[in-house]
Structure formats: structure tokens, C-alpha cells
Amino acid sequence: MNAAIPFSAQLINLFAAVILLLAFAMLAQRRVLALINLFALQGLTLCLATLVAAVTTGQVHLYYSAGLTLALKVLLLPWILYRLVKRLNVKGEVEALINIPTTMLVGLVLVMIAFNVALPISELSHTITRGTLGIALAVVMLAFLMMITRQKAITQVVGFLSMENGLFLAATSATYGMPMVVELGIALDVLVGVIILGVFFFQIRDQFDSLDIRHMERLKDN
Amino acid sequence: MTSLLSIDILLTAACAWGVVGLLGLVAPRNTHFISKTLFPLGALVGVLVGLASLGSLGGPAQTAVLVIGLPDLPFHLRLDNLSALFAMLLGFVAAGISIYAAGYFRKGEGTAPGVLCLEYHLFLASMLVVLLADDAYAFMVAWETMALSSFFLVTTDHRHEEIRRAGFLYLLIAHIGAIAILLSFGVMTGGAGDYSFAGMRAQQLSPFWSSAAYLLALAGFGAKAGLVPLHVWLPEAHPAAPSPVSAMMSGVMLKTAIYGLLRVSFDLVHATIWWWGVMALAIGLVTALFGVLYSTVQSDMKRLLAYSSIENIGLIAVGIGLTLIFHAYRMETLAALAMTAVLYHCLAHSAFKSLLFLCTGSVLHATRERSLGKLGGLIHRMPWVAWLALAGVIASAGLPPLSGFVSEWLLLQSFLFSPGLPHPWLNMVVPVAAALVVLVAALAGFAMVKFYGIIFLGQMREPGLKDAHDAGTWEKFGLAWLALITLLLGILPSTVISRIDAATQQLLGTGLAAKLKEQGWWMLAPISPERASYEPLIFLVTIAATLLLGRWLVRHLYHGRVRRTTAWDCGYYFQGPRAQDTAEGFSQPIRRIFEPMFRMQRHFPTARDTEPYYSVKVEDHFWYWLYLPVARLAGRISTLIVTLQGGRIAVYLMYSFITLLVLLLVARP
Amino acid sequence: MISISGLLGQAFAILLALVLAPLLSGWVGQCRAWLQSRTAPPLLLPYYQLQKLFHKDVVLAHGASSLFRAAPFVVFGCMVLACAIIPSLSTDLPLAPAADALALVGVFGLARVFISLAAMDVGTSFGTLGGRREMLVGFLAEPALLMVIFTLAMTVQSTSVATIVETLAHRELVIYPSLAFAGIAFTFVSFAENARVPVDNPATHLELTMIHEAMILEYSGRHLALIEWAASLKLYAYSCLGLALFFPWGIAPGDNFLALVAAIPLLLFKLAIGGAFLAAIETINAKMRIFRAPEFLGTAFMLAVLGLLVRLLLESRV
Amino acid sequence: MDFFILMLAIPLVSGALLTVVGERAWAPNLNIIASLGTFAAAAGLTIEIVANGPRFAFGEQFFIDSLNVFFVALTAFVGLTTSIFSGPYMKNEREHGRLTAPRLRLYKGMYQLFMFTMLAALTTNNLGILWVAMEAATLTTVLLVSLYRTPASLEAAWKYFILCGVGIAQALFGTILLYFAAERVLGASGNALLWTHLIDVKGQLEPTIMALSFIFLLVGYGTKVGLAPLHNWLPDAHAEGPTPVSAVLSGLLLNVALYAILRCKVLADGAIPNAFAGNLMIGFGLFTLLVAAFFLSRQKDVKRMFAYSSIEHMGLITFAFGMGGPVANFAGLLHMTMHSLTKSAIFFAVGHATQKTGTQLMADIRGLIRINPLIGWGLMLGTLAILGMPPFGVFASEFMILTHAMKYHPWATPILLLGLGVAFAAIFGKVQPMVFGETEARRLPHAPAITPVFLHLGIVLTLGLYIPPYLTRWFHEASRMLG
């Protein structure tokens, strides 16, 4: 990163770094509600990053995109999740399969991998935000890691949504966003998905008396 | 013009069989219609097939291309002399079996008669198409259809666990064999991608690939034919199947495997390498010896015959091996001799083994009993079946003047003239192999005496046997038809060989017909009368004349008085049926002499037993040496692999993650 | 092709066999008695016995089937055929091409199968026992016999018995070591095949040792006569075969009438020697346990194979 | 009216309608009529495409060429037969008390919506919409899988959702990267995700990005195809959902996911040298085949076993497309067709069988042929067909795949054959006692619909012996498009 980077790009890079930081924070966070807050914060940062990109490039659909992010990932989804946690009365700490420090270490390795994988591609990008592609990939991977290590259904969903954030960041950073129709479709899918999941949580709790996914290990072959 | 028609006739016949089979579905429960109309119709088609093939023997090859098949590879059909020979075998034997089946299949035996009729005729049709197929796809389709239809026939009485297991084993090994055959075809295309047989003939493969193709074919066709160690299905499937089906499988289906092996080794692959022959010879010998030994110790009559089929297939393989050896060293006359032996034995075995299996069918119907230990004395109740079975038994024991002896004689002749092979080792080993062949033939006699003596002779071992009845008219006719073929093959070898010689000539370029024409039709002297000759007709006439003359003289000079009383038996008082040898007892010397060949579990009674009994169970070594270890290995791998599906979603996600990471890190364009 | 003299010679050979066979049996019996210091039965005893048996009624067991009644005739027919194709006096036999050496073995096999089946027919304990033992001996003896024939056939390049004998009889004197092996093997096989000590004892009725006798226990009258006659024919056939193969001198080559006449006394002489030899062997050996028979015949087989290998090794360019 | 619009509109509208009225007595008929309409429209569209060549719809957002029209026809056909099958099946389920009226509504509505999403996924020209439709298909099927609301079905649906959701997310990353690569050539217009545009410039796409993109797409959509080791959701979802759903999952959804990979592979092949995409697919295909084959022998649940069989076949098909070239592509397409038809037929038969016997455990199912010969024979023949026994069509395609492999990848042939052999032993050994043997029969309140089973098997049998020339032309054209 040399000094020739314009301010806006520096800003976006900053936001991207914050998103990565938040991803790590989510990985380390034990409490569900805090996790949802972090997720909302991550969405907000993403929204801001998109907004900066929109202002810089002047592309209209990036504004829509930012608006969509704000509506969906900062307000609606966290709200739904929040309601679910309250209604389902999810209490206590989130237990991880692997302890947190180890997870963090693995996360670090993943970030290195992600950066290395993204490096040759970033160099090809002509957008001002190209550096963030590696970060986006890292966020996706960290979200993945979170889904692997967490044992509550709801945290898996948060991880899943965080992954979407990473993807969104990638779309923004590498290409200034996907075509509008696609973004709308993605947003719709995510929304419907979360609603269906919400329904699911109730059914799962009815059937298993818990949202712990360790109860759901009966279908197996060995 | 007639020669042009043959392939069309055969094709029509295959369709006709299909149609006859489908007609069975019209009224699947109407036993009378199916057995008295459709099966005789099928027999008629069989005769037609036999005659048409007989007519086309010696003529030029005829080809046809059908519209069906793969887009780039429509069904190619070709009727050459080799196909015609085997189609003739199929037609004539099928005719006899179908006629017999018309009287055999009855109500209430598992599968509905209509379905059975469909399966049976599909089986026939597919065998015919196997023989006609001239490309790999058509061949494989027909081959597997044959396996499938016969599988369903084997499991006709599927309510029994062991029959289902037998069927499964059969289909599994058939399938593995089919895979090997497919691979063999693949090798033979030599990467040219032309899967028609013409394309394979055009390939000039290196010795390595030729050998690969040959070995795969040997494995694939060997699995179908029942060569050791892929024979295990045979003694299970044959007893499980209804008798006409056993007859068809043993008599005809095994021969299609021989056909395939001949087709590949002599027609499709050009090179011939001497060790191919040694290999076939060795496997054949082991198979023959194994088959005959196990055949002697069986106590189920159909298993006994099934093992005897293994033995015969082994002998055929020995002949093929010998042919390959001679062919590899360009000793064409001897190769032709051995090849003739092979083809002749195929014909002979088809007829006499079907005959014997059908006889067991009649016995089974009359007594509901397959175990030799519960039969006996049936010659008094079933004279027709007994006397016709005797023809099969003599032929199967390889005794003159019936068909089995001719092929054995030819085989031994070709062995006898093997010195002169430019390979010293072979020179030594081949005659010893001949001795083993003789041992096999002699043991076959033992097995056949056991088979016949225990079923038909002696006292009835169970009281229920008194109600046994002879075969019905249809059945008698079928049996007589096959017995007639056996007799004709036995006493007219020269005539038959001059017909089937066309196939030998096609495969080897030389034949025996020219030599045979120099002598009379009654004389079989393939090389020259001074060196070896056999005149079965004169042989038969001499014995018959002596017999009749002797009888007439004795009656004329003395008297023909007969008195009946109880048996003498050195004056022993107890002469009940239990005093006779059991099936196990009869084979006791064999078990004792060849003890290492068997895996035996014996139970001896002791003095303190309240209910003393003796039992012996003979099992197949190969089962423990080959099949169970393979099954265990597969089981272990499965155990290892199913841990992938452990039920934990986190682990599943991790698989996905690791896959992604590995690909990201490793995969590079 | 087939000359009148040939036909006459053939007919004469058959008649001679029919006549001489019981005599040979009688001669062997007499020799045995002498060697065992017993009073010898008359030489013509077999003829008297046949005469007696033919006169007697046939007593059939209740369970005997038609096969039981047919078997003696079949066996007899087989043996006549065997005698017809083995050159005893002359090699000019019109029936000879009907069966070569391999078919000859087949003829013996056919007879064996029939007699074994007949033995099983009545369904007595001894019958089945005899039948199975006979088949046991048979399947052990046949390969050995075949190997002997192979050895000879390879020497001569023919399996026709007549050709073999002709060639062996009229060659210049060459020592074939292989023939020695083959000869011993052949002797072994002959003993086994003809129900002789050490494999079997035709004179015994002891249940544990019987083979041949056990099979024919139920026969009586003319049937028994035919079987006994067939048995002596078999002995005759084996003797002639052995003599023809290993001591072929004196057998007439073709339609040479003088040679044929000269052959008769020579044959009688050779048979007498052979019979005496047989009796001697029987006397100095003890009957073996039945399960020693495989070893005995296995030895024969090994010898025959050795003969074959020796032939391949030492004589292949002869 | 435009066949294409009709084809998409009918399932969408009827889906919405059935969500409301799905429990009525005539609803199954409506379901069938809607499926019939869809099929008719699809058939019309097919004829149109075959006659006039490729066409667009909704601007350039949808594009129908001979490749996807073939999948469309297949999808609509299996959709129709499945709806026929599900009529009596669902009635019986309701009689048994396993389903309530709202669930039936949900089932029928979701079924039609699922058809819609699949047809949309197949016909879209926009790789982004393709992704959206795939995700939507996942969502509808999640609801279908969890229809019984039993613990097991919820667990299965949860795993399905999470695993496929994550997978699909990776596919989205791949799509983004693809867009990224395309944008450099096509500019930031909306066209950069349109396949018709991409295919024109595929040679200019940056190989590094494309390689990365293809990896993500392969892992992503591959999860949905069921490539090992990404397959874990598949057996659970198949076993625990209602049987009609298993039939369409196996018969259609896997195909559609594979179709998505194929579309991407064409682009990747154009951009990346050294058959990178093909080799990846060959590797995945072989591994999947082997793993699935060894899984088969340990199965106790009949639907689960056939689910693994689907995985196995998907592996084989992936391998075929990985080899590439007209013959292998032809074989792959043929095998997809055969597998769809056969596997759905098997699931139909299995569905009736499990209803009759009241269990999915194979050890408890015996003597089907005596309960109902047609079901028994249907299952037996279907099994033999899926195992690649001639004269069924599966053998035709396997023959082509194997022979092609022997020519170009001889080392792979033994692996293929090992997999097929093990699968044969495992499946047949378990199906045979189910079909044969003794049993006590049980009557069902509603007679089963056997027609679809034999209709499918009849087609498979016919195609095994004779592939009509127009079908051949069509397949050839499609395989040419795949390069």
C-alpha cells in the first residue's frame, strides 16, 4: 500500500479491516446477544464501506446496495434474531467445540491463507477497493470457522449471515457490487432463509427441547 | 439364397422367442396355455434355429446391422461358422428342454408361469443374440440380459433364503465377469474407439495388450463358465434353479462363455502366445480335477451334476489351452484336432448334461427330493427316466460308444501327439497333464456311477418313493430327444465333425474334414487310420451283436428260467434300505484319498452318545481362501469410510472447509 | 481293404479267446495251488463250472431290475470286443480300427461301470461296497494304464494297438528303457484290474477284502456264468495285451497263414509262462488293505510317468 | 402465449394457489394438472427450440438453448410423474396420520414452487439469477424435507439447510469472482453475468481468477450435487423427507446443481489451460464414486441406500463431464437422463413399498413381489437398471463413459469398475431379499400409482436399446455446447 492511495480507498480499507476485526470478535464472543450485536455492527460497517464506495465512484446502485444492507443486515435480521433469542429463551454462554484461543490461532492461519490466495487476484483489480478482496475472503473463512466451532443452532445462523457479509464485502470490493437484480434476489433469499430458520428454531426446540446442535447427531452411518 | 437367409431366420427366431415370452404375460396364470402352447412353440423355434444354423455351417459369414443400439454403434450382427455352430447347439438343445418344460412347469411354484415363460424365452433369445453379436455393445447387452433372465429363472422359487443367496452370488459373479469382459473389449479396441468386432480384428495389438485382453477375457468368460476360482456360484445356482433351467444353464449358457473365449482368443486377438495356452491348460486341469472331486462327494443330486459341469468346462478349457499352445507354435493340424475336441465336447456336454439335469427334474417331481440319501430304486417306478438317464450317465462318464467319449478321445489324441513342441518343458508337462485328464475322466465315471446307482438302483431309501411316477409324455419326449442327440453324437462322430469343421477352419485356418473325407463316414481317424482310429458304430454293433447272440445262444442251448427270492448278501439277515451305502459312504474312498482337497467337518459318533450319528460336511476351500477374505476386506474399507458420515454437522462443515482450503492451496491450473 | 482271410483270422481270434480264457484262469489256479503246496484243481475246472452254472436256474433277488439282468451280457460283450481288438495271433484284425488303445481302455471302463451299477442294483450292503471299491480301483488304474499306452504310443506315433504291436514286433532290436518302466506299471495295473492279489482276491469271500466277489454276490446261474467267463476273458485280454506290447515276437504281421499257425503255439507258451508268473506273484504277496491300493496304483502311475519322461529324455530322437 | 412464460408461470401461480387450497380432495388433481400444464409448456418450448434454435426471454435474462431445454423437458416430465405418484402416496400418508391438512398445503405449494425454482435455474442466462434460484430451490426443499416434523426430519432439514447454505455461499463467492473476471472484459454493465456474453469472451477471462472462481463454484454447487466429501446432507435429506421429495431431489435437484457446474465449467475451460476444471471434476467424480460405493454396503434404510446410489451416480456423471469431449459429454447427459428417470422410478416403488410395510428398514421389508407384484418388479427392475444392467439405458451411458475412460484415462477404469462392482454387490444384495421372499401383506387405503414407475422404466429400457435419431442429434448438439 503506497502513499498514492486516495483517501476514500484508505477509508474503505479501514472499514474492511474493522469488518475483519469484528469477525474475529465474533469468533471470540461467547454470549449470543453480544454476538448478534457484533453481527449488526459488522453489517453497519459494511454498509458504511459500501456508501463510501458509492460516493467515490458515483455508481447509483451502490447506494441501493448500501440501503439494502442497512435495512436487512443492520436492522431487520438482527431484530429477528434478537426476537428469536428472547422468545426461545436462549440462555447462557455459547460453548465452542474447540476452545477460543485455539480458534483464534486457526483464524489467524486462515487469514494468512486468504490473503495469499487473494493476492494475485487483487493485483488484477482496477477498483480502488481491490485490497479488500483478501479481507472479504478472510471474513468468509472466519465465518465458516465459526459455524464449525459453535454448538448452538442460532450461532451457526449468525455465522452463516456473517459469511454473507463477507461475500457482500467481496462483491463490493472487487466489482463495486453485483448487478442489481442479483443483489435483490440474494437479499430476498437471505431474508426468506432467516424466516424459515426462525420457524425451524421453534420446531427444533419443540422436538429436541434445546437448540443445541449436539442433539442432532442421530442420523449417521457408523 | 438360403445362406443369405440364415441370419434373418435366426434374428426372426430370436424375436419369435421374445414374442412367445411376452405372450406368457397375456395370461400369466393360465398354466395350461403357457405350458402346452407356448413352450412347444418355443421348442419349434428352437428346432428352426438348429436347422438354420446347421444349414449355414460352412457357408460364408453373413452380417446385419440393426437400427437399435447406441447412436454411434448400432447392433452389428454376424453369423459365421463359430456362431452357427453354437447357435445350432442352442437350437437343438433348447428344443429338447422346451418340450420337456412343457410338461414340467406346473402351478404354484413361486413365480407366475407367465413371468417364467417370459424369463425363459428371453433367456433363449438373449443367448442367441450373444452368439450373433458382432460388436461389444450388442454383445454386452445380450450377455447381461442372459445373466439377468437366468438369474430370475434361478430364483423362481425365491421364498427360500438359500435360493435367493444362490441367485445373488450368481448374478454378482456374472456381473464381475461382465466387467472383465467389457474391459477386455476395451483393451482390444486399442484406443481406436471402434467397438465393433470388425474394428477389434483390425487392431494389431502389442503382445502385452493382447495378453491383457486375453487374460481379462479368460477371467470374464471363466466366471460365467465356472472356471476355478470363479466357480462358486455354479454349484449354488444350478440346484436352486428349476431343472429345465439348470439344464439350460449347464447345457447352453456355459457354452456361450466358451464361445466368447474362443471368439476372443482366436478371432479378435491376432497374436497367440504359448503361455496363454499353458495358463488355460493349467486352470482347466485344476477346474476339471476340482469339479470332479467335489462332484463325487456331493449328496445333492443337482449339486453333483453342477460340479460335474465344472469338470467338463475344465476339460474344455484344457482343450482350448492345448489348441492355443499348438496354434502358437503353428502346429495347425494338432491345433485343429484339439479345437475339434473342444467344439465336440461343447456339443456333447450340452446334450448329456441337459439330459441328466432334466432327469433330476423328473425325479424331483416324482419324489420331491433332491438329497441322494433319500432316493433309491427308482428304476422300478421310473423306467423311462432311468434308462434314458443311463445314456446321459455313460456319456458323462466319458465311456464309449456315446458322445462324451468321442471328445475325450479327440482330446487325448491331441495330447498324445504333443511331443514335437519346440519347448522342452511343455514336452514334459503336457503328457502328465494328459494323465490328469484321464484321472478326471475316470473319476467322472465314479461320480456318475454314484449318481445313477444311488438314485435309480438299489432299494428305496424312503417309503414314500413307492408312489413315484414316471415322467409324463412331454417330458419323455424331451428326454428322448436329448438322448437321441447324445447317441448320434456318439456314433456318428465323423459326420458331425465334418459339419462342425467349418468352425475350426474359420478359427485356425485348417481343419480335419479333408482327412476325414478320405475314410468312410463310420470311421473317425483324424490323422490317419494307422495312427489312431475309432469306429463307434462298429464298436456298438459288435457289443450289441455279442450281447444278442450270447443271449440267444444261452436261451437256445440251455434255458431262460428265473426264480425270484430275497437277496443273498452272504446270508445277512438284515437287508433293509439302510444297509446300503449312503451317498456319503459311497464317496468315502475319494474323501480319504484326496483329503487335502476338501475342507471337511466330520462328526463321529462315540460310545456314550444316546443318539449316535455320523455326519460329514464338505466345503469349498476357495470360499475360505479367496471369497471370505475379499468380503472381509471390503467390509473393513466400508467401516473406515462410513466414519465420514458421523452425524455431527460441525464435522461435515469441516469437510467442506478442508476441501475448499486444500483446493485453494493445492489446485493450480 | 478287409480280406476274407482277415475276417477269418478275426473270427478265429475271438473263438480262441473264448476258448482259451477259462483255460488260462484254470492254469493260473493250478499254478497257484502248486506253489502253495495244495492239491491242484483240475485244469479244466472253469469249464465245468461254466457248464454247471449255465444249467442252473437264475435266482434273482426281489429288488433286481432289468439292468441287473442286462449287465452280464453287456460286460461279456465288452470283453469279447476287447479280445477281438487285441492282437493275440495276428495284427491283421478287421475290427482293430474300431477301437484303438484309448477306446480299449474305454471298453474296460464301460464294462466296469455296468458291473458296478449291477452290483448296486439289488441294494445290499456288500453290493454297494463292491461297486464303490471297483470304481475306486478303476479310477486309479485307468490313468496308469493310459500312461503306459502313452509311452508306447509315443514310441510308435500311433494309438492303434495293431500298429503298435506291428511296429514293436518288427523293428530292429533297440533297447527302450522306457518300456521297462511301462512294463512294470502295466503289470501292476493288470493285477488291480483283474482282481488279483495284492489288490483283490478272487477266491475270498471275506467281507473286508472283497471287491470283485462282493459285486457279483447276487448273481447266479447263467448270469454268473457270463460274468465269470467275462472275468476270465478280461484276464486273457490283459495277458495278451501285455504279451503283445512287451513281448510281441511271433505275432503274425498280416494275412500270412503260416505265420498265423506258427503263432498259436507261441501264444500258448507265452500265456503259460505269463500265468505261472501271475500265480507266483500272487503267492509271494499278501493281500493289501483296501486303502493301500491307491499307493500301489499310484506307484504304477509314477512308474508309467517315469517311463514317459525317460522316453522323452533318452529316446526322443530314436 | 409464450411457452416459456407459461412454463414458469404455471408452477408459480399454482404453487401459490395450492398453498391455500392444498388440503382439498381435488388438490392432488390440481397438482397433477398444473404439472401437466408445465410439462406441456416445456414440451412446446422444446419443440420450438429444436425447430428454431436458441432463444432469449425477458430481455437477455433467460436463455434457452438445446442444452438446458433438454434438462427442462426432463425436469417437467419427472415433475409430472412425481405429482402423479404423490397423489395416492400423500393420501395414504394422511390416512396413516403422518400428515395434517396444513402440511399437505405446504407440501403441494412448495412442490410447485420448487419446480418453478428449478425451471428458473435451468433457463436463466444470468449466473447470478442461477445462484438465486438454486438458493430458492434449497429453501423450498428444506421445507419439504422437514414436512413430517419428526426429530429425524428436522435434523435432516437442518443439516441440509446449513450445509447447502454454506455451500451455496461459496458458490456465490465463485460467482462474484466470475463477475469480477468478466467485468474486466465486458465492463461493469449488467451483461457481465450473462452466460451468452461470457461464452463469447471466455478466452479473454483471466485464468487465475477463473481458477479460483471455479474452485468456489465447484465446491459450492458440488455440495448440492452431493460430491464427496461434501455430500453429508444428501442421505439424511433423502431418507427423512417424504418419498416424492426424495424422488425429485435425486432425480432433478442434483441434476440442476450439476447443470450449474457445467455452465461454469464451459467458461472455466475457455479461460484456463490444461483442462484444469475437467481434472478437478474427474478427481471429485472418482472419489465420490468410490466413497459412495463403500457407503452402500452399510445401509439399513432403503431410501438412504438409494440416496448413496445417487451420490455414486453423480460421481460417475461428474467424472464423465470432467473427461469432456463430445462422447463423454454425450454419455454424461445420457446418464443424467437415465439416472433421473430410473432413480425417481425407484423412489416411487420404494415409497409404495415403505408405505405397505410401514418401515424404511430394509431388514423388515420382505417379499414385496407377493404383496404387490408390480411394486416388487418395479423395484427389482429399477434396481437392476440403476446398477447398470443391460438392456436398460443406464448401461448404455455407463458403457460410453467406461469406453471413453479406457481410451483417454485408462488408469481411472479400474477405479470406476471397482466402484460399480462394489455398488452392485451392496445394492443388489439388499434389494433382492426385499423383493423376494415371504411376507404378510397389508392393504393400503389408496391404490398406489404404478404407472409412473413403469413409464420411467419403459423409457429407460427403450433408450438402452434404441436412441431415436432426433434425440441423438439433440444430445450431440448439447454436448457440443459443453465442449
A3 shares contact with chain B (CB less than 8 Å) = no
Average the pLDDT over B560-574 and give the result: 82
Indicate yes or no: CB of B645 within 8 angstroms of CB of A218: no
Which amino acid type is present at position B592?
Answer: R
Mutate to test the interface with A, among B644, B648, B666 (most CBs of A within 10 A): B648
Residue scoring higher pLDDT (D390 or B48): B48
**Which chains have 3 or more CB–CB distances shorter than 8 Å to chain C?**
B
Q: Give the global pTM.
A: 0.91
Beta strands in chain C (DSSP E): 58-61
Average the pLDDT over D185-205 and give the result: 83
pLDDT single digits (tens) B169-211: 999 999 999 989 998 998 888 777 788 898 888 888 888 889 9
Q: Structural domain tally of chain C?
A: 1
Q: Which three cell numbers stand for residue C244?
A: 503283445
The domains of chain A are located at 7-212
Taking Cα atoms as reference points, which of A62, A30, A93, A14 lies closest to residue A177? A62
pLDDT single digits (tens) D75-90: 999 999 999 998 888 8
Name chain B contacts of C63, Cβ cutoff 8 Å. 377, 380, 458-459, 567
B661 shares contact with chain A (CB less than 8 Å) = yes
**Which chains have 3 or more CB–CB distances shorter than 8 Å to chain A?**
B, D
Whether pLDDT at B3 is above 50: no
pLDDT single digits (tens) B335-345: 999 999 999 99
Q: Is B629 exposed, middle or buried (0-12, 13-18, 19+ CB in 10 A)?
A: exposed
Whether pLDDT at B4 is above 70: no
Q: How confident is the model at residue C124 (pLDDT cuts 50, 70, 90)?
A: confident
Average the pLDDT over B118-137 and give the result: 93
B417 shares contact with chain C (CB less than 8 Å) = yes
Q: How confident is the model at residue B482 (pLDDT cuts 50, 70, 90)?
A: very high
Taking Cα atoms as reference points, which of D245, D263, D82, D75 lies closest to residue D160? D245
How confident is the model at residue B346, as a pLDDT? 94
Q: Which three cell numbers stand for residue B474?
A: 412331454
How confident is the model at residue B245, as a pLDDT? 93
D462 shares contact with chain B (CB less than 8 Å) = no
The domains of chain B are located at 272-557
**What single DSSP character describes residue B529?**
T
Indicate yes or no: CB of D146 within 8 angstroms of CB of A179: no
Nearest to C142 among B431, B442, B590 (CB): B442
SS3 D316: helix
Which domain covers residue C228, as residue numbers? 4-314
What CA–CA distance (Å, rounded) separates B585 from A86?
Answer: 84
Indicate yes or no: CB of A160 within 8 angstroms of CB of D169: yes
Residues ≥6 apart with Cβ < 8 Å to C289: none
What CA–CA distance (Å, rounded) separates B590 from A93?
Answer: 78
What CA–CA distance (Å, rounded) separates D180 from A173?
Answer: 10
How confident is the model at residue A128, as a pLDDT? 60
pLDDT single digits (tens) A17-72: 899 999 999 888 878 888 899 999 999 999 998 888 888 888 888 888 888 888 88
How confident is the model at residue D394, as a pLDDT? 92
How confident is the model at residue C315, as a pLDDT? 65
Nearest to B532 among C100, C106, C113 (CB): C100
**Torsion angle, alpha carbons of B408, B414, B416, B422, to 10:** -150
pLDDT single digits (tens) D37-74: 999 999 999 988 888 888 888 888 899 988 888 899 99
Whether pLDDT at C116 is above 60: yes
Indicate yes or no: CB of A174 within 8 angstroms of CB of D177: yes
Residues ≥6 apart with Cβ < 8 Å to B286: B228, B314
**Which chains have 3 or more CB–CB distances shorter than 8 Å to chain B?**
A, C, D
Shortest alpha-carbon distance between residue C123 and chain B (Å) = 4
What CA–CA distance (Å, rounded) separates D409 from D344?
Answer: 31
Complex-level ipTM: 0.89
What CA–CA distance (Å, rounded) separates D284 from D269?
Answer: 17
Name chain B contacts of A141, Cβ cutoff 8 Å. 657
Name chain C contacts of B521, Cβ cutoff 8 Å. none
Mutate to test the interface with C, among B428, B570, B587 (most CBs of C within 10 A): B570
How confident is the model at residue C255, as a pLDDT? 61
DSSP run (H or E) holding C118: helix C101-121
The mean pLDDT of chain D is 89
Alpha helices in D96-150 (DSSP H): 101-123, 127-145
The mean pLDDT of chain A is 83
What CA–CA distance (Å, rounded) separates A199 from A176?
Answer: 34
Indicate yes or no: CB of C81 within 8 angstroms of CB of B539: yes
pLDDT single digits (tens) D455-476: 999 999 998 888 888 888 888 8
What CA–CA distance (Å, rounded) separates B489 from B433?
Answer: 26
Shortest alpha-carbon distance between residue B450 and chain C (Å) = 8
Whether pLDDT at A194 is above 90: no
Q: Which three cell numbers stand for residue C269?
A: 507258451
pLDDT single digits (tens) B500-537: 888 998 888 888 887 777 777 778 887 777 788 888 88
Average the pLDDT over B85-95 and give the result: 94
What CA–CA distance (Å, rounded) separates C149 from C183?
Answer: 10
Percent of chain B with pLDDT over 90: 46
The mean pLDDT of chain B is 88
How confident is the model at residue B647, as a pLDDT? 85
**Is D253 within 8 Å of D137 (Cβ atoms)?**
yes
The mean pLDDT of chain C is 86
Nearest to D169 among A164, A174, A217 (CB): A164
pLDDT single digits (tens) A161-176: 899 888 888 888 777 7
Which amino acid type is present at position D407?
Answer: K
pLDDT single digits (tens) D128-174: 899 999 999 999 999 999 998 888 899 999 999 999 989 989 999 99
What CA–CA distance (Å, rounded) separates B88 from B80?
Answer: 12
Backbone conformation region of residue B330, classed left if phi is above 0, alpha if psi is from -120 to 50, else beta: left
How confident is the model at residue D110, as a pLDDT? 92
What CA–CA distance (Å, rounded) separates D244 from C31?
Answer: 95
Four-residue CA torsion sign, B230, B236, B241, B245: positive
B215 shares contact with chain D (CB less than 8 Å) = no
Whether pLDDT at D446 is above 60: yes
Indicate yes or no: CB of C160 within 8 angstroms of CB of B593: no
Alpha helices in chain A (DSSP H): 7-28, 32-57, 60-69, 77-88, 100-122, 132-149, 153-175, 180-208
How confident is the model at residue B308, as a pLDDT? 94
SS3 D55: strand
Whether pLDDT at B265 is above 70: yes
Name chain C contacts of B379, Cβ cutoff 8 Å. 65-67, 121
Shortest alpha-carbon distance between residue D380 and chain A (Å) = 24
A164 shares contact with chain D (CB less than 8 Å) = yes
Name chain B contacts of D420, Cβ cutoff 8 Å. 179
Beta strands in B23-79 (DSSP E): 62-69, 74-79
Give phi and psi for B215, each to the nearest 5: -65, -40
Q: How confident is the model at residue A90 (pLDDT cuts 50, 70, 90)?
A: confident
D396 shares contact with chain B (CB less than 8 Å) = yes
Nearest to D126 among A124, A153, A182 (CB): A182
Average the pLDDT over C187-199 and give the result: 87
Mutate to test the interface with B, among C7, C18, C60, C122 (most CBs of B within 10 A): C122
pLDDT single digits (tens) D361-416: 888 888 888 888 888 899 999 999 999 888 898 998 998 898 888 888 889 988 99
Q: How confident is the model at residue A83 (pLDDT cuts 50, 70, 90)?
A: confident
